[in-house]
Amino acid sequence: MSLRDVFEKNPDRRYIMFGGKGGLGKTTFSATTAYWLAKKGFKVLVFSVDPQASLSDIFQRDIFGKGPVEIMPNLYAQEIDADRRIKEYQNEIRHKIKDMYGLEEVPEEIESYIQATAAEPAMEESAIFDAVVDIVVGGEYDYYIYDLVPLGHALYYLSMASVYDEWISKITQLRQEMQEYSQVAAVMQRSKETEEDMILKELLYIKERINTSSGILTDKQKTAFFFVLIPEDMIIIDTQKAASLFAKFNVPLSGYIVNRVIPQELAQQDIPEYLRNRLEMQKKYLAKIDQTFGNEVLGWVHEFERDITGLQMIERLAEEIFGR
């Protein structure tokens, strides 16, 4: 099976993700897949949730924080500016407080709390994944390609999502009980109906958002997750570990792509010792990859003579991966 087959045989899988350690080519494959799908006539959005995003670099255009930018017909790219999103969100909360209570200024105590939240480590992940929910529920595109953050972040978010979900269910329960008590008091005092609990409403909204974002990551019908690796021992071991962790969180793994393979034909030529050693090393680890991942490997991509930036190079790579 090749990468092309996976796409053609599973037309329902519209959320595509590439994962792997940093610097192995996730962005490259995201961009290339987006390019290929766009050429086939699908409307594609490739977006990055990485604060050090490199979509701008690969498309050679500054798209950071600018919303979806059209790169070529049918192909849109977006880099989420998490910092700005957090600031806007905080301002929204400040406005809401001022509006609700007719205040000129947010009370000092509350203000310092709002400011402190920005420093929380989980804030950025939450903001990013919340932004992703906004993008995905929009449903404007045929394909959504996640240029995923390095493995750690994704795992962190997945585990966070399941804990949050449980936690919010508990809080919601408490809130519902509280409402029952208010109702009892209201009945006893024969007063009017209690007013609608806005907090309960917000909690249910939060729960839905978290479920949507983690739901997409774990939906076998709609999501395809690919691992990118290179023929080196440490990477193989790490990928194996990550794959088993992802499997625990029910992320649907669709296969592996081996990047940076030095063409074996070079061995027949007169090449320096250094390159010959690299070739030997890769041969060994390619065999190991074959042993470990077997027919889950969807493609081997050779090392290009230069880096992949700009649409011309992306086109060349797309031809290599998906064929003409």
Q: Using CA atoms, how far apart are residues 320 and 314, in angstroms rounded to an integer?
A: 10
Instruction: Give the amino acid at 177.
Output: E
CA angle (139 as vertex; 142, 87 as ends), nearest 5: 125
Residue 304 interacting with another protein (CB under 8 A): no
How many Cα atoms within 13 Å fall on the side-chain side of residue 226?
30
Integer angstrom CA distances of residue 27 from 49, 251, 298, 310 = 11, 20, 17, 13
| Residue labelled with tokens 């978010």 | 157
- For residues 175 to 194, the per-residue mask of contacts with another protein, x marking binding by CB under 8 A and - elsewhere, is x-xx--xx-xx--xxx----
Q: What is the Cα–Cα distance from 272 to 266, expressed in whole angstroms?
A: 10
Determine which helix (DSSP H) or strand (DSSP E) holds 74, and give its type and residue range. Answer: none
Residue 103 C-beta: closest distance to another protein, Å = 9
Phi, psi of 224 (to 5 degrees): -125, 130
Kindly calculate the radius of gyration of the chain based on its CA atoms and give it in whole angstroms. Answer: 24
Query: According to CB under 8 A, which one of 77, 168, 217, 235 is a site residue for another protein?
Result: 168
Q: Which stretch binds another protein (CB under 8 A): 48-56, 109-117, 266-274, 301-309?
A: 109-117
Residue 257, classified by CB atoms within 10 Å of its CB into exposed (0-12), middle (13-18) or buried (19+), is: buried
Identified binder of another protein from the candidate list 27, 130, 236, 321, rule CB under 8 A: 130
Q: Which of residues 206-225 bind another protein (CB under 8 A)?
A: 206
Instruction: Pick from 70, 120, 280, 290 the residue near another protein by CB under 8 A.
Output: 120
Of 208 and 290, the one with the shorter C-beta distance to another protein is 208
Nearer CB in complex with another protein: 182/264: 182
Q: Out of 127, 230, 251, 321, point to the residue binding another protein (CB under 8 A).
A: 127
Residue 145 Cβ vs another protein, minimum distance, rounded to whole Å:
25
* Residue 176, both tokens: 């519902």
The least distance separating another protein from the CB of residue 156, rounded to whole angstroms, comes to 12
Contacts with another protein, residue ranges (CB under 8 A): 89-90, 93, 96-97, 100-101, 107, 109-110, 113-114, 116-117, 120, 122-123, 126-127, 130, 160, 164, 167-168, 171, 174-175, 177-178, 181-182, 184-185, 188-190, 198-199, 202-203, 205-206
